[in-house]
């Protein structure tokens, strides 16, 4: 695979939920090692876009390719098996399982590489001392911020080359938001490709290379993160500028 081949190409997709149309001709690309943010208000279609890439919803029109091969009609597990990790909206940890068990589940596809896995688990515990301290605690009793860290650590243990993340800062205090973004920054430095859905445009635009703004299921604006951060309309609508 050429380094220049995009990881994700979404080409003019429509998505319907029954009679409701959620996406209208959305196109978006994510290059290798790129961080791309999808911004927009509630119900603008951000999660639907990410779910389309993961095979959780099927576009009624248009195509999606991952590393040059179509994903249309593929099941989520087949897509995940192509090196993609997902950090879904609302973290989705297994509440009745311990922190340690949740981490092991993240590493499940790698169960044969026991020794390497032990090293990676140590690295996770170094990066997230709280998870080490709390490894026996039931995940459902962790705070929202702790659960988000667990969801990120679990995704990283799969050794993904591409991660799809839906609103990692939702409901977190500024301190935890900073921690989440430190993790994402380190993933970017490791060369992991990131498709990031966020309402927190300020944080997302600091991290991202490029961004797309969705409005009512359509791409309203797109460009480099730097250009969008200084775009008057984006600043007014999403960055709280006058």
**At 160, is the secondary structure helix, strand, or coil?**
coil
Q: 201 near 174, Cβ under 8 Å?
A: no
Under 8 Å CB-to-CB from 127, ≥6 apart: which residues?
153, 183, 186
In the complex, least distance from residue 136 CB atom to ligand ATP, rounded to whole angstroms: 33
In the complex, least distance from residue 143 CB atom to Mg ion, rounded to whole angstroms: 21
Answer yes or no whether residue 149 interacts with ligand ATP by CB under 6 A: no
Among residue numbers 168 through 227, which ones bind Mg ion (CB under 5 A)?
none
The nearer residue to Mg ion, 131 or 194, going by C-beta atoms, is 194
| Interacting residue with Mg ion among 7, 22, 36, 47 (CB under 5 A) | 47
In the complex, least distance from residue 178 CB atom to ligand ATP, rounded to whole angstroms: 21
Q: Which of these, 156, 173, 154, 48, lies nearest to 105 by C-alpha position? A: 154
The nearer residue to ligand ATP, 65 or 199, going by C-beta atoms, is 199
Answer yes or no whether residue 86 interacts with Mg ion by CB under 5 A: no
Q: Which of Mg ion, ligand ATP, none is residue 168 near (CB under 5 to 8 Å by kind)? A: none
| Interacting residue with ligand ATP among 7, 35, 36, 47 (CB under 6 A) | 47
| Interacting residue with ligand ATP among 40, 59, 88, 168 (CB under 6 A) | 40
Under 8 Å CB-to-CB from 149, ≥6 apart: which residues?
128, 130, 131, 176, 179, 180, 183
Answer yes or no whether residue 19 interacts with ligand ATP by CB under 6 A: no
β partners of residue 36: 195, 210
Q: Using CB under 6 A, which of the segments 16-24, 97-105, 137-145, 175-183 binds ligand ATP?
A: 16-24
Type and span of the H or E element at 125: helix 114-127
Q: Which of ligand ATP, Mg ion, none is residue 17 near (CB under 5 to 8 Å by kind)? A: ligand ATP
Report the alpha-carbon distance of residue 194 to residue 120 in Å, rounded. 20
Type and span of the H or E element at 119: helix 114-127
Answer yes or no whether residue 126 interacts with ligand ATP by CB under 6 A: no
| Interacting residue with ligand ATP among 26, 30, 37, 45 (CB under 6 A) | 45
Burial of 112: CB neighbours in 10 Å, binned 0-12, 13-18, 19+? exposed
Under 8 Å CB-to-CB from 216, ≥6 apart: which residues?
24, 44, 45
In the complex, least distance from residue 18 CB atom to ligand ATP, rounded to whole angstroms: 6
Q: 65 near 87, Cβ under 8 Å?
A: no
The nearer residue to ligand ATP, 103 or 180, going by C-beta atoms, is 180
- What's the token pair of residue 97? 């399982």
Q: Which residues bind Mg ion (CB under 5 A)?
A: 46-47
Binding site for ligand ATP (CB under 6 A): 17, 20, 22, 40, 42-48, 199
């Amino acid at each position: 695979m050429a380094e220049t081949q995009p990881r994700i190409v979404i080409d003019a997709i429509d998505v319907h939920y029954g009679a409701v149309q959620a996406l209208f001709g959305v196109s978006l690309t994510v290059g290798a090692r790129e961080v791309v943010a999808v911004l927009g208000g509630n119900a603008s279609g951000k999660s639907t876009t990410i779910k389309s890439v993961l095979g959780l919803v099927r576009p009624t029109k248009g195509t999606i390719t991952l590393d040059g091969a179509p994903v249309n009609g593929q099941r989520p597990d087949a897509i995940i098996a192509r090196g993609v990790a997902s950090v879904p909206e609302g973290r989705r940890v297994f509440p009745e399982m311990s922190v340690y068990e949740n981490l092991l589940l993240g590493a499940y596809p790698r169960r044969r590489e026991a020794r390497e896995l032990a090293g990676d688990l140590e690295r996770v515990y170094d990066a997230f001392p709280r998870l080490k301290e709390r490894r026996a605690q039931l995940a459902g009793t962790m705070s929202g911020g702790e659960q988000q860290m667990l969801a990120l650590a679990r995704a990283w243990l799969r050794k993904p080359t591409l991660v799809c993340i839906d609103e990692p800062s939702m409901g977190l205090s500024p301190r935890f938001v900073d921690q989440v973004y430190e993790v994402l920054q380190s993933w970017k430095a490791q060369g992991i490709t990131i498709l990031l859905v966020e309402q927190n445009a300020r944080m997302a635009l600091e991290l991202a290379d490029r961004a797309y703004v969705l409005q009512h299921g359509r791409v309203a604006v797109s460009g480099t993160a730097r250009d969008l951060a200084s775009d008057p309309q984006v600043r007014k609508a999403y960055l709280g500028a006058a």
